[in-house]
Structure 1
Amino acid sequence: MKVVPLDRPVWNCLTGPQAHLALGGDSAWRIDPGFGPFAAARDQSAAALAALAGLAMPGEELWLVETGAWPVPPGMDLVRTAPLVQMVAASPMAPLPGDAACDSLGEPDAAEMTALALATEPGPWGEKTRLYGQFYGIRDAGRLAAMAGERMRPAPGIAEVSAVCTWPDYRGQGLAGQLIRRVMAGFTARGDVPFLHSYAGNATAIGLYESLGFEIRREMVASVLRRLT
């Protein structure tokens, strides 16, 4: 049976297009901690689960994104699970004439990007998360009001929209939609189909994504595991 890359996005990005960011071995991999806590085991065998546990330091968390809950390896505990929906935009909406100008973000913007991500919690954020790929932001009077960028690439031709976040006092102005359209335009230009993950209970976000051309592909589960001391 052919493996669908999006069914195991973390495993496939770490053994495929983003293997240069992977730490581990054939049984389990994790991304460079600076980029975040994502990890995946080859399968649910005892050897693979032990290898997964070995990728974390005592007290450290690993995040798994799979089609279902994952067994907890010996030496770890389950912090929480969260139901997700995985969405794909086969026909993404292009930028609109009235969209605000989106700035390319880089090293000079790192502190502002981190402050926004940590305050709004769009997902795991590390000191190198902004280096996954191109990020864009919208500024107001010099302040970074909102941003969006990219993260996982499970296979050639597929890229994830991620870190979509807006300061609370700028919400309701359509900034997230404008930024997602800009990110997707970059994907389209290089031949990538956009996908993303949303918490299944976030109806507002899902509605926004659907208005931009995304459709729910399948349900997923995020499992957060912590290494015991």
Structure 2
Amino acid sequence: MTSAAGHVLDRPLWHALSGQQRDLAHGDARALRVDPAIGPFGAARDLGEEAQRALAALARGLGPLAQVEREEVAPAPGTTVVASAPLVQMVCAAPRMHGDHPAVELLGRADMAEMAILAEATEPGPWAPETIRYGAFYGIRERGRLVAMAGERMRPGGYAEVSGVCTDPAWRGKGLAAALIGRVMLGFAERDQVPFLHVHRDNAGAIALYERLGFAIRCPMTVTVIVWNGGAA
């Protein structure tokens, strides 16, 4: 991996929102955040006072704002950190497209209610009414019910993030997640984008699954969630 590519992945939110996914974001050249109807993520251009104050303004009246950086981010003026968790960032330089499943289907707006129910039950990460706007999501139904799904989130530079991976507990251990991740990564390959993802550092089961699919840990990351506290930004 080149040093330039490494820099992109060190700050994936900023590079995605200031680049390919600028249409999903509020803000300006100093700070950007995803439309809250899609998700809570945001990033400042840098750690300077001007950019951090602009980021604080994007937390005012728009709900919690989550940053994903190499280290925990100090609260911007006017904000308070309400949650922080260690992650690992994983990259798949040579995707293994195995575990295909004949029932994999592309999900759309007609499926959003079912997707929200599955996400609420399994907590695959931040989910919002319009999360599907990040990109393609795929699912598998059993007995007419959506029991597993996976999709994409951030697209910084030549990379694309696997996200929203979840399976109903009653259907785990059947290779559904692997099949769905493989289908998501096939879409990335068609766009010539390298898959990456984030997972909580203590989620050994998920890390092991991703390693079987060809992912390797690149570096530790941290998610930091801030809220507006009513102070002066």
TM range (shorter): over 0.9
Residue deviations 1:149-202 (CA, integer Å, cap 9, x gap): 0010011x3111100011121122221111111111121122111110000110
Measure how far apart 1:101 and its partner are: 2.2
Is residue 110 of structure 1 aligned with residue 128 of structure 2? no
**Alpha-carbon separation, structure 1, partners of 2:187 and 2:18:** 24
- Of 40, 45, 55, the residue aligned with 2:43 is 40
Contact 1:64 1:223 in 2 (8 A): yes
Indicate the residue corresponding to 2:97 in structure 1. Answer: 94
Indicate the residue corresponding to 1:226 in structure 2. Answer: 227
**Alpha-carbon separation, structure 2, partners of 1:58 and 1:110:** 25
Measure how far apart 1:116 and its partner are: 0.8
Measure how far apart 1:96 and its partner are: 3.9
* DSSP-derived class of the 1:164 partner: strand
Bigger CA drift: 1-10 or 13-22?
Answer: 1-10
Identical aligned residues as a percent:
53
Under a length normalisation based on structure 1, what TM-score does the superposition of the two structures give? 0.94
AA matched with 1:204: G
**Alpha-carbon separation, structure 1, partners of 2:62 and 2:22:** 25
- Of 96, 121, 136, the residue aligned with 1:134 is 136
Aligned length: 227
**Alpha-carbon separation, structure 2, partners of 1:207 and 1:115:** 26
**Alpha-carbon separation, structure 2, partners of 1:58 and 1:23:** 13
Contact 2:59 2:79 in 1 (8 A): no
Gaps of 5+ in 1: none
Measure how far apart 1:58 and its partner are: 4.4
Contact 2:99 2:178 in 1 (8 A): no
Is residue 22 of structure 1 aligned with residue 50 of structure 2? no
Gaps of 5+ in 2: none
Indicate the residue corresponding to 1:164 in structure 2. Answer: 165
Indicate the residue corresponding to 1:65 in structure 2. Answer: 68
Residue deviations 1:130-155 (CA, integer Å, cap 9, x gap): 12111110100110010000010011
Indicate the residue corresponding to 2:182 in structure 1. Answer: 181
Contact 2:154 2:160 in 1 (8 A): yes
* DSSP-derived class of the 1:71 partner: coil
Indicate the residue corresponding to 1:81 in structure 2. Answer: 84
Residue deviations 1:6-57 (CA, integer Å, cap 9, x gap): 1101000011111111211121111111110101011112221111110023
Under a length normalisation based on structure 2, what TM-score does the superposition of the two structures give? 0.93
Measure how far apart 1:226 and its partner are: 1.1
Residue deviations 1:106-137 (CA, integer Å, cap 9, x gap): 01111001111122111111111112111110
Task: Output the aligned Cα RMSD.
Answer: 1.5
